[in-house]
Amino acid sequence: MSKYMFSILPFNSTWRTPLWCLWLCSCHSGPDAVSLLNERKGARNKQVTKLHKKKRSSCQPVLDHFDQQYSQELGDLWPSARAVLLDRHSWQYGVMLNRFSTVTDITQTLQSQGFSLLLPQTNVSTLLCNGPSTILISKHQARKDSLLPPQYISKCSPNDSYVQPESPSHALGRDLQSEALSLACPSLQCYIHPYPLRFPSQAHRPGQLKQYYLLNAASLLPVLALQVRDGEKVLDLCSAPGGKAIAIFQCATPALICCNEPDPHRRDWLAKTLESFVPHSLNSRVIVSAQDGRSFGQREAGTYDKVLVDAPCSNDRTWLYSCSGQQGEQRLQERARLPMLQAQLLRSALSAVRPGGVVVYSTCTMSSSENYAVVETVLNDCPEAEPEDLWEEIAIPLSKYFAFSPAHPGHGQTLHKPSPQPQNGNVSSYHHRLGILVVPQPGKTWGPMFLSRIRRRK
Ligand SMILES: C[S@@+](CC[C@H](N)C(=O)[O-])C[C@H]1O[C@@H](n2cnc3c(N)ncnc32)[C@H](O)[C@@H]1O
């Protein structure tokens, strides 16, 4: 039996849509999510090996659908994103260390293999002395409200971050910015490699904490955007297999984190992940609950400081490798149902968060109907919800590692009218505030990942 508390709230008996069977997949979590399967097979990789996946061909109906949809939505970015998605040897995995275990030996191994930190840990005094004169932050200020203080951000246009060639001064500016971003979450250590090397996943050993979790590094961005602080109450509304809950624990020690997952099989998986990464001393702060996330907000209205909705979605990577054309077709049909479920989950999250609290909505699809359109739909009927700009806070500082696509200007206009109208700024800055999208590109193969941050007005 799991050592974690389970919510006494019953699983909603009206739940009848087994949509999760469609996303019984590794989602954003990379090979760690399949490590349990490997463990069962007794796999014991001892060395870092080049990523060799069993050759599986892509599913033609899904690829045809993507070609049609994404060439329209992503324009010039689609052919290169397509090339990455179709070349599984190019896929990368980050190694997120577990701050609750001893990691010295792993750190040394990673460094000797050429891995380096995604968010370099910075000596603040060095940054202040050597950085440009505009940098006037203290460690305290940098952590306080925003991940990155405004004076620290270059005012380049969104497109600069991935289209324009890098000048040395831009690159330096971004290094400093991403280092400042690490101040917001100084204990989060994720190692990445410039090449698609695969670090072996660790076997589950009852009673022993794992040292690291393998994941798509873009999965960390929603957690960075959530800005969890020590002592806060956090809800992870769609939690299994638990990668982001673990990442939250690397950033801070919440007073309480409720990890919700309605699928029993995936909930077991979640409980096992938590058991492998969270020490006994913090058990009382973790609740695993089994509710339908759509009704969670009604039951626990205004309870949480931070809510993460890492929504069930049409996972582009997994869906492209559907087992058969028939499964691919079935998934594409289900795709049409997802935005309604996602909007219900996001509304529920906005009810569960306290006034002044923050909700982060994320998916691992590039589909605008599951991303910008969902956020916009919910904003249209939640006047108390205020979207926040993550472009300057996250996309610009981390553009050295991730390729971000700005929302196409026509997006919201054709899908939904932005309403209420943005108070400050024009429609294009409003579109920035709807969210940011990580699009896999050669050399920056992380993603897909969409994230949007919405604050509930006081
Ligand atoms: C993208 S995955 C979450 C991944 C997880 N956050 C992580 O980082 O490991 C989405 C999860 O939402 C769950 N889900 C599906 N329908 C749901 C619902 N109505 N309420 C809450 N969770 C749901 C799925 O079973 C699935 O485990």
* pTM score, whole prediction: 0.81
Query: How close is the Cα of 127 to the center of ligand 1, in Å?
Result: 39
Instruction: Locate the ligand 1 atom nearest the alpha carbon of residue 27 and give its number.
Output: 1
Dihedral angle of Cα 296, 348, 342, 386, to the nearest 10 degrees: -150
**Residue 156's pLDDT is what?**
29
Task: Please tell me the predicted confidence (pLDDT) of residue 428.
Answer: 55
Containing 448, the helix (H) or strand (E) segment is none
The predicted pLDDT at position 366 comes to 96
Active site residue 364: yes
> How would you class 69 by CB atoms within 10 Å of its CB: exposed for 0-12, middle for 13-18, buried for 19 or more?
middle
Measured in Å, residue 311 CA sits from the centre of ligand 1 at 6
Query: What is the arithmetic mean of pLDDT over 313-318?
Result: 91
Extract the tokens encoding 198: 């695969």
Q: How far is the CA of 174 from the centre of ligand 1 (A)?
A: 33
The secondary element (H helix, E strand) that includes residue 197 is strand 197-198
292 annotated ligand-binding residue: yes
- Ligand 1 binding pocket mutation candidate from 219, 251, 261, 307 (most atoms within 8 A of CB): 261
Q: Could you say which DSSP state residue 256 is in?
A: E
Q: In angstroms, rounded to a whole number, what is the distance separating the alpha carbons of residues 333 and 248?
A: 34
pLDDT class of 9 with cuts at 50, 70, 90:
very low
Residue of 9, 20, 34, 346 to test ligand 1 pocket, by largest number of atoms within 8 Å of CB: 20
Burial class (CB within 10 angstroms; exposed 0-12, middle 13-18, buried 19+) of 176: buried
Span 135-159, mean pLDDT?
A: 31
Ligand 1 centre to CA of 75 (Å) is: 30
Active-site option among 59, 185, 364, 382: 364
Ligand 1: list residues with CB < 6 Å.
19-20, 23, 27-29, 219, 237-244, 260-263, 266, 292-294, 310, 312, 345
* 357 known member of a binding site: no
Q: How far is CA 354 from the centre of its chain?
A: 22
Q: Which two tokens stand for residue 230?
A: 């020590």
d(CA 373, CA 127): 40
Angle CA 95–100–103, to nearest 5 = 50
**Locus of tokens 């569960």:** 352
Residues pairing with 452 in the sheet: 361
Task: Calculate the alpha carbon distances from 185 to 62, 118, 396 in Å.
Answer: 38, 12, 17
Q: CB under 8 Å to 137, separation ≥6 — which residues?
A: 124, 128, 149, 151, 152, 180
Q: What does the pLDDT look like over 212-236, one tens digit per residue?
A: 999 999 999 999 999 999 999 999 9
For range 330-342, the mean pLDDT:
92
Q: Domain residues of the chain, as ranges?
A: 20-118+185-456, 124-183
pLDDT at 186: 86
What's the fold here for domain 20-118+185-456? Rossmann fold (3.40.50)
Residue nearest to atom 23 of ligand 1 (CA): 238
Q: Give the containing element (helix H, strand E) for 94.
A: strand 94-97
Residues 6+ apart with CB under 8 A from 57: none
412 three-state secondary structure: helix
- Ranges of H-type helices in 316-426: 316-320, 325-335, 338-352, 372-381, 410-415
What's the CA gap between 60 and 141, in Å, rounded?
51
Ligand 1 pocket mutation, candidates 238, 288, 292, criterion most atoms within 8 A of CB: 238
